[in-house]
Structure 1
Amino acid sequence: MALDPFWSNLFSRRDRSGDDLYEILSKVPIFQDLSRREFERMRGILHRRSFSTDEAIVREGDVGVGMYVILSGEVAILQEGTDGKMIELVTFGEGDFFGDQVLLDESARTASAVARSSTRAVGFFRPDLLELIERNPRLGLKIVMRLSHMISVRLRHTNRLLKEARDQARRAEAAAQAEAQRAAEEAVESEADPESANQAS
């Protein structure tokens, strides 16, 4: 599958010197099972890009095309609140990554990513993954399996957090109801025994 010219122009595939991409990317779960030889086969479809401070890397609501791995610098993940203000969720640094889910489904970005300092990153995009699957099915499947595992683990973790949040909400609601009932009972007792209420005051 040919790469869209827009992305070809925007992300340079040259200038691979400098960082040892293998050392950094081999720590990213989606790539960690790759041998150096397999990684070298992928090197040509990885895109290097630099971002200046406060430059938007991706925007919330835009259709995603792929993931980024940070080589250097810092990236803030932001989400728009109900009042229209941006809420900073987390800050990523060297070796961190984001946007991997859109490699599978091209879903809309659920948050924005903005460079907090001069940042260099590597992009790996869905068209390149599909091209890799066509050209080297075994290697492509290896990456897809790792990606699916990552998303599955993340989903289980999210479900566990949601369950804990629901349990905490139920406990808080039960405690509030118990406190309200206790206050109501005390009020009834005070009305039934004004003398005790006056003594208490």
Structure 2
Amino acid sequence: MNDFNPSQKKTTPDYIRHFLKNPPLLLQNFHYEDKMEFLKIGSIHNYSNDEVVVEENKQVDSAYLVTRGKVGIWKENIQLTSLGEGDFVGEAFLFSPNSRIAKVISEGDSQLLNFKRYETLNFFRKRPEKLFNIFTRNIIEIQQAKITETNNQLMQVKRQLLDKHE
């Protein structure tokens, strides 16, 4: 069933209603009920302009879904990219016990949904394995898109350097 009943609309936060209608890549191919339940395990956090969301080198134990606004990804005082509504930050949180490789800073007012590793794994333990496989594929697609964007940026920098030397 993909329709809201009237009482559900009053109790369901706007960002959940929005992501149920327009799911981010993270939730592609999830059934309606699975999207709803997954979004409910996240905790909402509001950030103001220039507020640090994640410190670089901090142990990875959670990830974030941007529900409103934008965040910048920074490494050594260089902004690598900006991510906005529907983008997922920290996608390796389920698979890697490593430290964060960059700092995340709010660009203006933003709202992010925080997913803790333990709670997320418990969510998938209670569901068919197929759902976790879909989630894993979505995370791989997110990482692939980020790698492609990074490669494009690297090519632009290399072209600029080559143009300066010619």
Choose the corresponding residue for 1:137, options 128, 135, 157.
Answer: 128
Letter in structure 1 aligned against 2:116: F
Letter in 1 for 2:64: Y
Deviation at 1:79, TM superposition (A): 0.6
8 Å CA contact retained: 1:79, 1:88: yes
TM-fit CA distance, 1:17: 4.1
2:84 is aligned to 93
Match of 1:68 in 2: 64
How far apart are residue 87 of structure 1 and its match? 1.1
Aligned residues: 147
Higher strand fraction: Structure 1 or Structure 2?
2
1:189 is matched with: none
Correspondent of 1:36 among 17, 32, 37: 32
Larger C-alpha radius of gyration, 1 or 2? 1
| CA–CA separation in structure 2 for the residues paired with 1:48 and 1:87 | 27
In structure 2, what is the Cα distance between the partners aligned to 1:116 and 1:158?
20
After superposition, residues 1-201 of structure 1 pair within 5 angstroms as 17-24=12-19, 26-80=22-76, 86-138=77-129, 139-151=131-143, 153-154=144-145, 157=148, 161=151
Shift of 1:63: 1.2
CA contact 2:15–2:67 (8 Å) conserved in 1: no
Give 5+ residue unaligned stretches, structure 2. Answer: 1-10
- How far, CA to CA, are the matches of 2:121 and 2:101 in structure 1? 23
Q: Give the C-alpha shift of residue 58 in structure 1.
A: 0.4
Letter in 1 for 2:40: G
Deviation per residue, 1:59-106 (Å, 9 max, x gap): 1111122221212222111111xxxxx111222222222211222213
Cα–Cα, structure 1 residues 107 and 32, in superposed 2: closer, same or farther, change >3 Å? same
Deviation at 1:120, TM superposition (A): 0.8
Q: How far apart are the structure 2 equivalents of 1:148 and 1:89?
A: 20
How many angstroms apart in 2 are the aligned matches of 1:49 and 1:144? 24
Q: Percent identity?
A: 21
In structure 2, relative to structure 1, the CA distance for the partners of 1:97 and 1:157 (3 Å cut) is same
**TM-aligned CA deviation for residue 57 of structure 1:** 0.5
CA distance in 2 between counterparts of 1:90 and 1:158 reads: 9
